[in-house]
Structure 1
Amino acid sequence: MRRILYTGTKNASSWAFRAWLAMRELGIQFEERVVDIRKPQRFENLRRIGEISPSTSVPVLVDGDNIIFDSLAIMEYANEIGGDALLPAEPLARARVRSFLSWQHAGLSGLCPRLSFESAFYPNKREMTSDEHKDTERLFSVWESELKSSGGPYLCGELSLADLVLVPTVIRIYSHSPQLNTWPLTHQWIVKLLARECVEEWVSQARSLPPVILDNY
């Protein structure tokens, strides 16, 4: 069966990154078609995506005659067809992973909205504000507690969808050089996560592109 995953510009498409990561980590074969979501071509390109997807956004997975048009749905579907390797078997642990998935999908409580995924690839980055430091410290505390409870090296022990869904968030925050001395487990987790082959592949391609500068940075 032929699968096509429509993704977006590598240094601007964090949601497509999440779906792509799940597919790649599970070894699922697919053809990738990159949609340029930079302005001004963004609007016409997404209009064309709207011809196959009601969300008029990426990612979109075309699997035979079926369309899956949401990043979280694609991640869960990939896990199901990929051997269920990225969700724990135990129900409570599975629910814990889904809690992180849902939290990220809902916007992670509005964490550092001006530190966009695009900003991770800016050649000159600004200092984080005091509010951004407070937000990230709260998030680091959550991750540190989870890693301490699970025993690591990933959030719920073994690599799961919880880790993959957070990769773009980790990249955008970590690129702004936060202090992680107080959260050693979180620091180790971040380094390990960013060193994964699939993550490095996407990030390498993202860094090769002209930065997408947003006005509210």
Structure 2
Amino acid sequence: MYTLHIANKNYSSWSLRPWVLMRALDIPFAERMHPLGDNSGKFTNFSPSGKVPCLVDGDTVVWDSLAIVEYLAEHHAGIWPTDAQARAWARCAAAEMHSGFAALRNQHGMNVGVRLAVAQRSPQVLADIARIEDLWNAGLARFGGPFLAGRKFTAVDAFFAPVAYRFRTYGVPLQGAAAGYVQTLIDHPAMREWETAALAEDFREAQHEVDLRQAGTITADLRVPAK
């Protein structure tokens, strides 16, 4: 069985991607969660990069989220769309998410259990939001939805799953089908499982909490109290 090493479900957008994909496709794995802020170098015990996610399959170690997805695609059906055009589009969109949108990542970090009112967004964040909105609307229109590349949840949806949480947390307004797609992702059973566990985490990572308060005014915190 695979072992998937991840960090806190409340914060770790990178961990969410392979986790939700494997859950959605019923690929069995053992989960090992390592809280952020308490590393003490321990991530290097299992991950060559010292980062998560990291997938272990016997003697094979895969330590990047996109590499994990491609590794799984070599062994399991349904990771990418079966239609060639949809598959090419999905790979491009996932790769763009994997390597881009730095302003959104830095200024709207994932924090599943919190809601914020944001008074002002930087031009860079607004540009990232606009590009994602266009990308989502294009995929949903071209392939018919309800997921980005068609009827089934695939890797491209997994790559944008953390964005759905970000948009909800920071109250990002969207136009067109993209607005409904956020809720489609959040309502997926695998996403609901992740969110339930995230809200139950009673530990906090200091820098993520500082960044959160710098981004806006907290209007709701649905997490269990911190220890």
Q: Choose from 23, 43, 58 the match for 1:64.
A: 58
Alignment of structure 1 residues 13-162 onto 2, 5 Å: 13-37=12-36, 39=37, 41-42=38-39, 44=40, 47-83=41-77, 85-108=78-101, 110-111=103-104, 113-118=106-111, 120-122=112-114, 124-129=116-121, 131=123, 132-158=125-151, 159-162=153-156
TM-score by length of 1: 0.85
Identity of aligned residues (%): 29
Distance (whole Å) between structure 2 residues aligned to residue 135 and residue 25 of structure 1 = 27
Structure 2, gaps ≥5 residues long: 216-227
How far does residue 25 in structure 1 lie from its aligned partner after superposition?
A: 1.4
Q: Deviations over 1:33-59 (max 9, x none)?
A: 10111x2x13x1xx2221332111111
C-alpha contact 2:5 2:55 (8 A) present in aligned 1: yes
Mapped pair 1:12 → 2:14 = no
Where 1:153 maps in the other structure, the secondary structure is coil
Task: Kindly report structure 1 stretches of 4+ aligned residues shifted beyond 4 Å.
Answer: none
Query: What is the rounded CA distance, in whole Å, between the counterparts of 2:15 and 2:201 in structure 1?
Result: 16
Q: SS state of the match for residue 170, structure 2?
A: coil
| 2: CA distance, partners of 1:186 / 1:12 | 23
1:171 to 165, 168, 188: 165
Letter in 2 for 1:19: P
Structure 2: distance between partners of 1:134 and 1:63: 39
Structure 1: which amino acid aligns with 2:32?
R
Aligned partners of 2:114 and 2:169 also within 8 Å: no
Does residue 203 of structure 2 align to residue 214 of structure 1? Answer: no
Encode CA deviations 1:60-91: one digit per residue, 9 max, x unaligned: 111111111111111222233222x1312233
Contact 1:16 1:71 in 2 (8 A): yes
Alignment CA distance shift 1:62-1:146 (3 Å):
same
| CA drift at 1:99 | 0.5
The answer as to whether partners of 1:28 and 1:78 remain within 8 angstroms in 2 is: no
What TM-score does the superposition give when structure 2 sets the normalisation length? Answer: 0.82
Q: Does 1:187 align with 2:194?
A: no
3-state SS of the aligned residue for 1:50?
helix
The alpha-carbon deviation at position 133 of structure 1 amounts to 4.0
CA distance in 1, matches of 2:104, 2:195: 21
Distance 2:157 2:137 in 1: 13
Taking only aligned residues, the RMSD between alpha carbons, in angstroms, comes to: 2.1
